[in-house]
Amino acid sequence: MKSAVILISGRGSNMQALVEGGTGLEFKAVISNRPEAQGLAWARSKGIAAQAVDHKAFADREAFDAALGDAIAAHAPDFVLYAGFMRIVGERFVNRFQGKLVNIHPSLLPSFPGLHTHRRALEAGVKVHGATVHFVTAALDNGPIVIQAAVPVLAGDTEETLAQRVLAQEHRIYPQAARWLAQGRIEFPRAGVVQVSGSGVSSDALISPRTDS
Ligand code: GRF
């Protein structure tokens, strides 16, 4: 059985979707860079080892990255899944876990990397928005794409209503990506494009039906 460590910074709804998503991964630990992250208590309640590596306790990014890396490496996971993990890590950290790091980002990458994606999508007037699961590289929100889900942007949407619609899709596509990882059907690609191997996968994109009115 392949294993994973989940990294969080806050409430951890994507973490919950992963843990309860029947992925076939063994979740060895949940680590937060914020001691106050609500998701830590939830992980403990599920019997998963949960700890904080507080970024504020370190003099610089290098020192934090090294400590976080050691905390992860202690569990020797096959994968490290960022689930609302809001800390930028350096190249050395990315290289240390090359091919194991996966992130979920609330936009259809390569559109809207970085923060405030829903606000920026509304300001840009896009008609379709969504979420992306991708491998992490040293470039922010720019690694090879595993799966995406699209949602419509509706008249009258606010940042909150759009975020909610996207989040519902995040909770679908992240467990799906994790299942593929558990089954060994995807790996970090050399040429930048992820392929899902095996039969029964017709597409690596999910276009969500309009579920709200
Ligand atoms: C999600 O939208 C995630 O994509 C983004 O921050 C949010 C975190 O939510 N990076 P949660 O902590 O998983 O509930």
Averaged pLDDT in 10-residue chunks for the chain of 213 residues: 98 98 98 98 98 97 98 98 96 96 98 98 98 95 95 97 98 97 93 82 48 39
pLDDT of residue 201: 52
Q: Give residue 210's pLDDT.
A: 41
Say how many Å lie between the CA of residue 40 and the centre of ligand 1. Answer: 14
Radius of gyration of the chain (CA): 17
Give the pLDDT confidence score for residue 54 in this predicted structure.
98
Q: Which atom of ligand 1 is nearest to the CA of 170?
A: 4
Q: Pairing state of beta strands 3-8 and 128-135? A: unpaired
Domains of the chain: 1-98 (3.40.50.170), 104-213 (3.40.50.170)
d(CA 13, ligand 1 centre) in Å: 7
User: Tens of pLDDT along 149-194?
Assistant: 999 999 999 999 999 999 999 999 999 999 999 999 999 998 889 9
Q: What is the pLDDT of residue 200?
A: 54
List, chain by chain if needed, residues with CB within 6 Å of any ligand 1 atom.
8, 10-14, 83-84, 104-106, 167, 170
Closest CA to 166 of 179, 146, 149: 149
Probe ligand 1: pick from 13, 129, 132, 151, max atoms within 8 Å of CB? 13
Q: Find tokens 């896009």 and name the residue.
A: 126
In this structure, the residue with its CA closest to atom 10 of ligand 1 is 84
Rounded alpha-carbon distances, angstroms, from residue 102 to 120, 166, 199, 209: 23, 18, 23, 25
- Which residue CA neighbors atom 1 of ligand 1 most closely? 84
Nearest CA-CA partner of 73 in 41, 97, 48, 106: 97
Q: pTM for the complete prediction?
A: 0.94
| Cis status of the peptide bond prior to 110, with omega within 30 of 0 | yes
- Number of other residues whose CB lies within 10 A of the CB of residue 76: 9
> Which of 104, 105, 118, 132 has most ligand 1 atoms within 8 Å of CB, for mutation?
104
What's the pLDDT at 190? 82
